[in-house]
Chain A
């Protein structure tokens, strides 16, 4: 599914005079937070502005070594661990690259673009995440300007990713000093190219997920739904906990990559739409009224998808230490999944240390229950979906 972006932005294509621009400009982007859901957008965006693709560089994934080496003494004071890690990424981009960058680009993301856009109240980012770049920057300027010392221009605009026209204004203003002569239209076109590439990339992820789910259902094998924020895919933040489940033989589908094709969604939600309990495939208003946060909305929707899809026998929830955005979602997400008997496991309060011992015990635990119960869970979910009340009753009783 493609989300409409702009009306004919690419139709007007005045080619800008780029002679004043540095053809070898290098842009560094920290691999943090929501970048985990929009990297291709930014790569293609800058490419469209004339930056060579290989010159758009991301910091490495979060790691202990990175944090130790590059954030020492510059730590942002924040209880959100993913935000705290930004300092390490900044440090790496400023001093850890073989070929230094000219620009460190770290947007303050106010809103995100979401396929749930027109079905929810809003698509805002987390306020902590929004302010994250600012608190990290603090660590690099309090004892002299480290950006200037490394010869790097720091560009950190406030961006509303969900509103293309506003986004174009924000980016044109912030980037004009870097790209002399940058016009609103040129930015708008770059935004379109960015989304085009990001959408294509996401579509492929969703296709992979689609195939896996179909195959699992066909072969009656369980798949696991991973629920978290985009940055939980960062090995230094989510600690690759789901990889251990994968190694036990279970495919893992992330909530961010669920298939969105109409036929499948109709199978999962059609009945509720027909009986009037849901307004559309993407309606979450019955379970999540205050649908302001883009990532939270998608998380809730993914939980609902997982609750219904017969191949998803279990869901694993990740959240970071003291996450205020996640707090109110714990119970609803769990209840949504359990309503149709999907097994639910959670890994909460993740922080800097990978809790290896307890992860091993828990992976074994999940694996044990899946081995014994997944067939019955899948059969029952299938029966629930097809409205086979008798089969549901029998399968529910065998549970006792």
Chain B
């Protein structure tokens, strides 16, 4: 009798055939989300090459995708961890720790010998891509590294850099910026291996020490030589630290094994388990039913699984459109007269708004950032001038670039982004309780109380819920972002996408597509999962009712009516009677707020500090990027650029290692955190002295506790 074991995983399908307990055939294939079709191909091959016979031989299935397919084949379904454990116990009685890394999940199994046999402790995570194979492959693809190259890349002896292990999408961004900074690909990949092992050890050991001997299973562990080296490095160190005794005459490396058939442990295990049962319960039913599923069944099931479309009823949609489809703020054909300008220098976009003395919007500009704040400033002021803004009476400035540019441009009102957003929102909606700003790369939520921002949540750690994702999907379907909503509203039904990690959301989309969901239906589903990601996953709000009842939506992503509809439905469902509004200057709300504050805080006889259009366009600067400018505050070692700008009363930086004389002002960019804005130890000492002085003048009672109490 033959037993077929089929492991339908998140990225590949693996299959083995056992004859009298001995493996006689095995193969694996990537399924590219065509799980059923790939399984079918492998089954066909088993019939043809290994003699698997319907109604005579036995079949067992395992893996995250086996639930759907098992009923068509007749065999039993075995949970994958159970399957892997069974194979490990049978083949390696001395193994104490197993790490199995898959495409979209990771598992650890600890075996502890006890009197009653072996105790097993299993940990698994499959909600986030950090630490999985997808995490490495996605970055490698971006770096243009082929699969074969990746397999051979090393970890040992390669310089490591810090890569975010937490989120696959950000790891990709980190990898990108390392690449831009001139770090060789080998070092980036080695750093990814490092991140994966650390993530596994940090989240999936939970109080247990991985003891020898160790088995590394799954595709990534088997294929990536560097990943195995990273495991060996960390486990050897761990054993040394803990004084773990290794079997005599062995080194740590001898105790870590990746068997040649590391990919097939789940298949082998499920085949072994089912082999112990009665054969007639698990007979292979042949391909007929699976064929039906592939050609008809999965498409029928699609209709049952889905839910009503985003648009609701036709009447709902009409009401919604009437309420939210605003013409936008009308700008004067050509701005004129002295105006109040607000600029918002964000990390990816730059916005500017010009207001008349009465607060009417005269001009607005929205541009992608070039990455150099001086060039961004030049571009935005040139654009304002093109729109007829000729003279500025007050300049407000906000956003990431505020501190860099306020002196250089001569801003009258430099304000932090929260204050600018709140001012912009409360001017239009004085009774607003919350602002939800969804931009391209981050999500900001501001709670308003007593005219101030009482709570602020910023999520830029996890890409879940931001707008870049929608854009990516729209691009993939060849849909212009402006047409997104119209397309999404065409859908009569949509699939349920899962909340959470953007990396998995991507593959979930492909999966739903495979089931026959059409592009507009997927676009509708994606918009409708966004509020969940924004409020619950990224914003960490469990109870929306505690926030209030009037919600203002703004940020570029809320220009998309499909997202707005989803937000309105979501918020009203959670907060009965909630009022949801979209800021009329959705994308430029921060700049609008900064302009308003410049206007409000202006006194009649006040002269603006603005240096003038001519001087902005003629700003002279030079940039230094070299070893000295590299940030040394932490191990990330950001490649900073020092941009020295010529300004009449610039203070210069005589003490700097890259000195610059009076008449120049330095702007530091390319840093990834605020520490990098401090040039070096000399400047740090000066800053520290200032801070200490401020602290002495203004006590903090906790300081006594920190310094004196524990004596």
Contact = CB atoms under 8 A, between A and B. Distances in A.
Contacts of A233: 702, 705-706
A261 interface: no
Shortest 8 CB-CB distances between A and B: which pairs? Answer: A364-B416, A252-B700, A358-B458, A233-B702, A257-B701, A251-B698, A58-B710, A365-B418
Contact of A77 (B206, B453, B454, B458): B206
B449 interface: yes
B442 to A, nearest CB: 10
A248 B691 CA distance: 8
B710 A31 contact: yes
Contacts, number: 142
Nearest to A201: B709
B238 A252 contact: no
A364 B416 CA distance: 6
Nearest to A321: B540
A208 interface: yes
Nearest to B450: A338
19 contacts: A72-B201, A75-B205, A201-B708, A226-B700, A243-B695, A243-B700, A246-B695, A247-B691, A247-B695, A251-B698, A251-B699, A345-B455, A356-B673, A358-B457, A362-B418, A364-B418, A365-B419, A369-B419, A369-B452
Interface residues of A, number: 65
B476 interface: no
A142 B416 contact: no
A237 B273 CA distance: 48
Given A39-B710, A142-B207, A343-B454, 18 more contacts: A36-B709, A39-B709, A61-B706, A73-B201, A73-B208, A75-B205, A201-B709, A233-B702, A246-B699, A251-B698, A252-B700, A254-B701, A334-B449, A334-B454, A343-B450, A361-B458, A365-B452, A373-B452
Nearest to B417: A361
A360 B705 contact: no
Contacts of A205: 701, 704-705
Contacts of B205: 73, 75
Nearest to B704: A205
A361 B415 CA distance: 10
Given A246-B700, A247-B691, A330-B546, A346 B455 contact: yes
Interface string B662-685: 000000000001110000000000
A106 interface: no
A384 B456 CA distance: 30
Interface in B687-707: 691, 694-695, 697-702, 704-706
Contact of B704 (A31, A74, A208): A208
A97 B37 CA distance: 61
A196 B588 CA distance: 60
B247 to A, nearest CB: 17
A366 B242 CA distance: 47
B416 A365 contact: yes
A247 B674 CA distance: 16
B457 A246 contact: no
A113 interface: no
Nearest to B672: A357
Given A341-B450, A344-B449, A346-B455, A368 B702 contact: no
Contact of B711 (A36, A43, A253, A349): A43
B53 interface: no
A204 interface: yes
A75 B456 contact: no
Contact of A40 (B418, B675, B709): B709
Given A205-B701, A358-B458, A365-B453, A77 B419 contact: no
Nearest to B698: A251
Contact of A252 (B450, B456, B701): B701
Nearest to B458: A358
Interface in A27-73: 31, 36, 39-40, 43, 53, 58, 61, 72-73
Interface in A301-326: none
Nearest to B674: A360
B102 to A, nearest CB: 23
A256 B702 CA distance: 9
A349 B540 contact: yes
A343 B675 CA distance: 29
A243 B695 CA distance: 8
Given A138-B207, A344-B454, A346-B455, A242 B674 contact: no
B415 A209 contact: no
Interface in B466-521: none
A166 to B, nearest CB: 25
B209 A73 contact: yes
Most buried by A among B205, B695, B705: B705
B601 to A, nearest CB: 9
B623 interface: no
Contacts of B208: 73, 142-143
B624 interface: no
Interface of A: 31, 36, 39-40, 43, 53, 58, 61, 72-77, 138-139, 142-143, 201, 204-205, 208-209, 212, 226, 233, 235, 238, 242-243, 246-254, 256-257, 330-331, 334, 338, 341, 343-346, 348-349, 355-358, 360-362, 364-365, 368-369, 373, 399
Given A361-B416, A365-B416, A368-B419, A247 B694 contact: yes
B460 interface: yes
A57 B537 CA distance: 41
A74 B209 CA distance: 8
A36 B458 contact: no
Contacts of A257: 701
Contacts of B709: 36, 39-40, 201
Contact of A139 (B207, B453, B691, B708): B207
B207 A77 contact: yes
Contacts of A77: 206-207
Contacts of A251: 698-700
A16 to B, nearest CB: 26
A249 B209 contact: no
A48 B455 CA distance: 47
A143 B97 CA distance: 14
Interface string B402-430: 00000000000001111100000000000
A209 B127 CA distance: 47
A36 B698 contact: no
Given A247-B691, A365-B418, A226 B457 contact: no
Nearest to A314: B452
A254 to B, nearest CB: 5
Contact of B694 (A235, A249, A330, A364): A249
Nearest to A149: B243
Most buried by A among B241, B457, B546, B711: B711
Interface in B159-200: none
Contacts of B704: 204-205, 208
A261 B264 CA distance: 74
A143 B449 contact: no
A235 B711 CA distance: 17
Nearest to A346: B455
Contacts of A253: 701
Nearest to B242: A73
B379 to A, nearest CB: 25
B632 to A, nearest CB: 17
A347 to B, nearest CB: 8
A369 B241 CA distance: 51
B226 to A, nearest CB: 23
A73 B238 contact: yes
B207 A75 contact: yes
A12 B614 CA distance: 88
A61 B457 CA distance: 27
Given A39-B709, A73-B209, A247-B695, A242 B458 contact: no
A278 B455 CA distance: 31
B699 to A, nearest CB: 5
Contact of B460 (A40, A238, A256, A357): A357
Contact of A208 (B416, B460, B701): B701
A233 B708 CA distance: 13
